[in-house]
Structures are given as C-alpha cells and as structure tokens.
C-alpha cells in the first residue's frame, strides 16, 4: 500500500518486517566508512560508504517515494547534485536553461560546464516559443526552474515535456523552491529533478545537502556509477539530519505558505513597496499555470521597494528576520539577490531580469506571522 505524502515523510515505505535493529524508532546513524564481508564474494549489501550506506539509503528511498522517482542519490550539496547531472553530458552538448536560474547554477554552467565543452543558452522558459527558438541541433536537455529564482516566473512543465518529445530532449527541473510537497516534476514528464536539500527538505538552516532524483530508468545505473566514482555522497550523520527534517516537511510547507500569503498581501498595501512577486497572488502572471501543475505556491516572495536606500535600510533594520543567504528553513531570511545569490550573474542580464538594487527576496519561516509583519513594518518605517 502507498501511504499519503505526510505519512511517507515520517515512515517512508518501511514495513514492520524492515524494522530497524533493536526496534529503534529513529534510523540508526551507521557511522562507518566500510563494511565487513561475510566471506569471499559475499556482501551484506553494503561495502564502502562512498557507494552506499544504510542511513543514506533510507533517506534516498524516502526521497524517491516523495518525488515518485526510480532512484535518488543524496549528495553533499545542491551544487554537487547539479554537477553530477552535468557529468551525464559530453563535450559539444547544448543545454537550454531558464534565464533566471539560481546564481550558483549559472556559475557552474558558465565556468566548469563551458570548460568541459558544454554549451548553454538562457531563455525565459515561461515563454514556450522563445524556448523552442533556443533549441539547436546539439541541444540535449531543457533545464528548468519553476518558480524561477528570484523573479518567480512559472514554466509550464507539461508543455516543456511536449517540446522535449518533439526534439528528443531530456528535461531536468530544479525543484528546490516548492519541494515535492507542492510540485512533483517527474509526474509531469521531467527526466530528472535536482534539489538543494539545504533548503526546504532539511528545513532548519543547519545542514547542507543535495539530491538528484531520476525518473528515467535508462539513467539510474549511469548516475549510480558517476556518483560512486565522483564521491559526492552525503555523510551518514547529515543523512540522518535530512531524514529528521523530512519528517516535518508537510507541516512546515503548509505553515510557511500560510504565512507567505499573508505577508505578500500585506506587502502590496505598503507605500514603499513597488511590486510583489508571489506565485500565490491570483494576479501573478504564472498563477494559472502554477495552479495546474502544483498543489501550492510555496513561501518565497520577492519584492521591489521604492529605492536602493529603502532596500539597504530594511536589511539593516530587520530584527527577527535574518539578513542572510539561503531559504526554506523555519527561520525567515531576507536576501539581497544583487549582492548575494545573483552576484555572479552578468550585470546586463541581472538588470534585464529586474534583479536591481531595490529588489529583495524573502523566505518566509514558521514564526508567528504578526511578528514577521511587525518586523517588516518597523524596518520599512
Ligand atoms: C541553494 C540552491 C542551490 C544550490 O544548493 P546548495 O545546497 O547551496 O549547494 C541550487 N538551486 C537552488 C534553486 C537553490 O536555491
């Protein structure tokens, strides 16, 4: 029997027969580098932790269940997962990417990816015609973030799958912003999902992790081979922390979204706020498409204030909300994309996307929403 998402977050698909040793309710941390062999040519199923480890396997199975993947590898960081994905491709292969990707993804593509002979084009993938026009003879993959970062553009994932089928392409989606609680790209036709597990999945701003989930059977073995070869594996202890984080994923996502809706509505009534980018507002341009392919809008809000000075003052004056990079945890964080997450994106691209000196991004946590609004109110005063 398949359990509901909330139940799977806590129990995975574990049956009574697969109980942990000694009846341990929490997964044991198998803090071991290697495993003894019962005899020559025999294995317990585990040989060496770079390849696999029981604590990590539990986490990977859990993530496969939540994303409805064939297989998942748990990596040290989101960037490690993205670099594994890059390893599937060869010199001369071309990628079409969403144009306002996470800044670190642009950095790895344009530096290390290019050095390896990969080619990248960036387009607004919310615009299907523009996406199709960017496809070349050597294009191999469409690499999507939806909602995008930080301008919250929504790409129609079913339409992207159709486009990919027309040209024989693979589809990869960075699902960090919504997590499988709200969006399951593999069920909409994507071949791969990448995650920064550091964000909503871990959920507590205390652990780095990443995931590469595979929906396409043809790639399961290839990815496992690259994974054990490159050594991007998540440690047993951090795997335990991620399992612990996942247990509350559903309740955190719900509460964060509830808070975010209230804050987005409040922000747009404020005189110093010029525009609010939140996918859960019905007049957001991607609202309909998002509603058709997800079960929620999440808790990431970007907004434009009336001047650079207002932006800088807000960052200095927030008390409860922390001025810090990252997102998705129980603590609310405010980010200055121009200087932080998107500091490495070329200036002309940044400005075209609207990532300017008056643009801020808020990751809404699970504090009481009235305290968060009061904090923003005094910081904007
Ligand atoms: C943070 C982030 C990453 C990178 O993940 P790390 O765990 O920091 O390496 C990738 N994509 C998105 C959307 C992110 O927010």
Instruction: Provide the domain count of the chain.
Output: 2
Question: Same structural domain for residues 195 and 309?
Answer: no
CA-176 nearest atom, ligand 1: 13
Is the C-beta atom of 354 inside 6 A of ligand 1?
A: no
CB of 190 within 8 A of CB of 341?
Answer: no
Write out pLDDT tens, residues 339-368: 888 887 788 888 888 899 999 999 999 999
d(CA 243, CA 234): 12
d(CA 164, CA 170): 6
Question: Same structural domain for residues 199 and 326?
Answer: no
Q: Which of 157, 163, 142, 151 is nearest to 98 (CA)?
A: 142
Structural domain for 25, as ranges: 5-246
Return the sign of the alpha-carbon dihedral for residues 257, 298, 262, 375.
positive
* Mean pLDDT for all residues in the chain: 96
Q: Indicate yes or no: pTM above 0.75.
A: yes
Residue with the smallest CA separation from ligand 1 atom 4 is: 78
Separation of 196 CA from ligand 1 center, angstroms?
Answer: 4
Tokens of 172: 């990869």
CA-177 nearest atom, ligand 1: 13
Spell 309-319 as b/e; 16+ CB within 10 A means b.
Answer: ebbebbbeebe
What are the DSSP calls for 182-217, one per residue? H--GGGGT-SEEEEETTTTTT-SSS---EEEEE--G
Domain boundary (231, 246, 261) is at 246
Q: Which of 221, 216, 228 is nearest to 56 (CA)?
A: 228
For the sheet with 71-75, list strands across it.
71-75, 210-214, 192-196, 170-174, 139-145, 94-98, 119-123
What CATH number corresponds to the domain at position 348?
3.90.1150.10
Q: Which of 377, 371, 337, 372 is nearest to 357 (CA)?
A: 337
What residues does 333 pair with on adjacent strands?
A: 322, 363
Q: Looking at residue 1, what is its pLDDT?
A: 63
In the structure, what pLDDT confidence band is assigned to residue 332 with cuts at 50, 70 and 90?
A: very high
Is the C-beta atom of 192 inside 6 A of ligand 1?
A: no
Domain boundary (246, 279, 307) is at 246
Separation of 79 CA from ligand 1 center, angstroms?
Answer: 6
Question: Same structural domain for residues 238 and 274?
Answer: no
Question: Same structural domain for residues 268 and 237?
Answer: no
Separation of 151 CA from ligand 1 center, angstroms?
Answer: 16
* pLDDT over 70, % of the chain: 100
* DSSP H stretches of helix in 1-133: 5-11, 54-67, 78-87, 103-108, 114-115, 128-133
Segment 291-297 mean pLDDT: 98
């Amino acid at each position: 029997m398949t359990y509901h998402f909330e139940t799977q977050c806590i129990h995975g698909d574990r049956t009574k027969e697969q109980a942990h040793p000694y009846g341990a309710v929490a997964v044991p941390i198998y803090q071991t580098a290697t495993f003894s062999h019962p005899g020559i040519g025999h294995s317990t199923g585990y040989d060496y932790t770079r390849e696999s480890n029981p604590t990590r396997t539990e986490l990977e199975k859990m993530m496969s269940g939540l994303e409805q993947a064939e297989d998942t590898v748990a990596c040290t960081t989101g960037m490690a997962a993205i670099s594994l994905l890059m390893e599937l491709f060869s010199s001369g292969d071309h990628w079409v990417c969403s144009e306002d990707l996470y800044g670190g993804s642009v950095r790895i593509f344009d530096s290390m990816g290019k050095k390896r002979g990969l080619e990248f084009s960036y387009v607004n993938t919310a615009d299907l015609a523009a996406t199709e026009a960017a496809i070349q003879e050597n294009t191999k993959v469409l690499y999507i973030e939806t909602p995008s970062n930080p301008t919250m553009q929504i790409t129609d994932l079913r339409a992207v799958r159709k486009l990919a089928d027309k040209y024989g392409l693979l589809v990869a989606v960075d699902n960090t912003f919504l997590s499988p609680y709200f969006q399951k790209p593999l069920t909409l036709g994507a071949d791969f999902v990448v995650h920064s597990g550091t964000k909503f999945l871990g959920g507590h701003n205390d652990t780095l992790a990443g995931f590469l989930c595979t929906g396409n059977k043809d790639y399961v073995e290839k990815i496992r081979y690259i994974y054990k070869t490159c050594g991007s594996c998540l440690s047993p202890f951090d795997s335990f922390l991620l399992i612990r984080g996942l247990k509350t994923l559903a309740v955190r996502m719900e509460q964060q979204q509830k808070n975010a809706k209230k804050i987005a509505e409040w922000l747009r009534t404020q005189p110093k706020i010029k525009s609010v980018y939140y996918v859960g507002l019905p007049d957001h341009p991607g609202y309909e498409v998002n509603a058709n392919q997800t079960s929620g809008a999440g808790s990431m809000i970007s907004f434009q204030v009336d001047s650079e000075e207002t932006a800088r003052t807000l960052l200095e004056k927030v008390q409860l909300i922390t001025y810090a990079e990252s997102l998705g945890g129980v603590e609310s964080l405010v980010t200055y994309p121009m200087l932080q997450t998107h500091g490495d994106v070329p200036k002309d691209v940044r400005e075209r996307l609207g990532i300017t000196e008056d643009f801020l991004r808020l990751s809404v946590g699970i504090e009481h929403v009235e305290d968060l609004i009061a904090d923003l109110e005094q910081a904007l005063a």
